[in-house]
Copies of this chain bind each other. A is one copy, B any other.
Amino acid sequence: MTDLAPQTRSRVLSSLRTQRIETASWAYGNSGTRFKVFAQQGVPRDPYEKVADAATVHRFTGVAPTVALHIPWDRVDDYADLARHAKDLGVTLGTINANVFQDDDYKLGSVTNADPAVRRKATDHLLECVDVMDATGSRDLKLWFSDGTNYPGQDDVRTRQDRLAEALAETYARLTGDQRMLLEYKLFEPAFYMTDVPDWGTAYLHCVQLGERAQVVIDTGHHAPGTNIEFIVAMLLRAGRLGGFDFNSRFYADDDLMVGAADPFQLFRIMHEIVLADELDKGIAFMLDQCHNIEPKIPAVIRSVMNVQEATAKALLVDHTALRAAQQAGDVLEANAALMDAYHTDVRPLLRDLRADLGLDPDPIAAYRGSGYFERIREERAVGQAAGWGA
């Protein structure tokens, strides 16, 4: 990094200083596969403890000041109290994630169910989530529907889209102020034949019909093999419909590994599109949605935040002038090299400097490990029921 021009260095540091990454409450709880949920030590037992863990991540990284909630997993009696608790710990409550996939009634779908009573129940939950947003001051309602079918013929594709559109419209109408609806898509799982919102095209189509505050959210693990995710990023940016990301990484399906762990170059290419469009700090929600099934959760989240930072720093280093000149000249190798030069740069010294500037330990993982936080929660939370997806 010695040869980084002072102006470049200053510009990059300035952007990195404003970056915000949201962590998810459920990432601190137990998770697993259909085969087994391996229990870990020190896992939070309620939303207050999840918020405390999220605050710990922010304390050591400095760029994760909000935590997303999942309703009903994070249902509390008094959301204002939870918000105060967060504030006391230096963070705020973020995106509200609706959950309409864990009730027996939803076996054949929630808002797309053939049974109008089930649809009513599901939509009521979505509306309840907006109530929660009102209480927490959250801007974004994130909707992921597990709805779909397992067998050809099981239900009618177009009718289910009609039902989906109806529930979305009712929920959208309930939003006020600058509240937004983020619609997520996913190719498969848990539905194995047809998913009602399987791709960005479907999410986009519904968002356009709803209105400007309906935006698409990209979960980086929700695509068919071979899908060019940064292309979708660029398309949605161009259409003004990119609401946010659920970051994680995958080798096969929705593996929900730490972002940047499977294909760091892809993460860089995604952030490059964001930087190119100058949208790093314009309202896109950068969220983590991961499952730390076998690795300790808090340091895994810290590592993930750092991975996003590193990808962003590299993206910020791309020489746009050189890039555009090579593109314009049709020089394939030089255009590619302009990108790769930035990617191959080791930005870790730069990020250590950033942290020092922010009054943080340059090595967040080591600082967390030395802080005694884990030893404390392991003891405090040794009794009681650890939080998990079913909790």
Contact = CB atoms under 8 A, between A and B. Distances in A.
Interface of A: 31-36, 38-39, 101-102, 104, 106-108, 114-115, 146, 150-158, 161, 187-190, 192-195, 198-202, 204-205, 223-228, 230-232, 234-235, 237-239, 250-253, 255, 257-258, 261-265, 269, 273, 276-277, 293-296, 299-300, 303, 310, 323-324, 326-328, 330, 332-333, 335-340, 343-346, 348, 365, 389
Contacts of A265: 152, 263-265
Contact of A152 (B155, B193, B326, B339): B339
A277 B159 CA distance: 11
A151 B255 CA distance: 11
A300 B333 contact: yes
Contacts of A330: 108, 114-115
A223 B201 CA distance: 14
Copies in the complex: 4
A226 B251 contact: yes
A192 B255 contact: yes
Contacts of A328: 114
A332 B156 contact: no
A36 B106 CA distance: 10
Given A253-B253, A265-B265, 18 more contacts: A32-B34, A36-B101, A114-B327, A150-B295, A151-B261, A151-B295, A152-B265, A153-B323, A153-B327, A153-B337, A189-B252, A195-B228, A198-B228, A199-B201, A226-B251, A294-B332, A296-B333, A300-B333
B158 A237 contact: yes
B201 A155 contact: no
A302 B343 CA distance: 19
A237 B35 CA distance: 31
Given A115-B330, A226-B251, A251-B192, A234 B157 contact: yes
A189 to B, nearest CB: 6
A295 B188 contact: no
Contact of A200 (B115, B189, B201): B201
B263 A161 contact: no
Nearest to A189: B33
A339 B52 CA distance: 31
Of the listed residues A223, A250, A251, A345, the one surrounded by the most CB atoms of chain B closer than 10 A to its CB is A251
Of the listed residues A324, A332, A346, the one surrounded by the most CB atoms of chain B closer than 10 A to its CB is A332
B255 A333 contact: no
13 contacts: A31-B34, A33-B189, A35-B389, A115-B330, A151-B336, A153-B335, A158-B238, A188-B226, A188-B252, A226-B251, A264-B265, A310-B344, A344-B346
A146 B35 contact: yes
Contacts of A250: 192
B294 A257 contact: no
Nearest to A3: B349
B161 A235 contact: yes
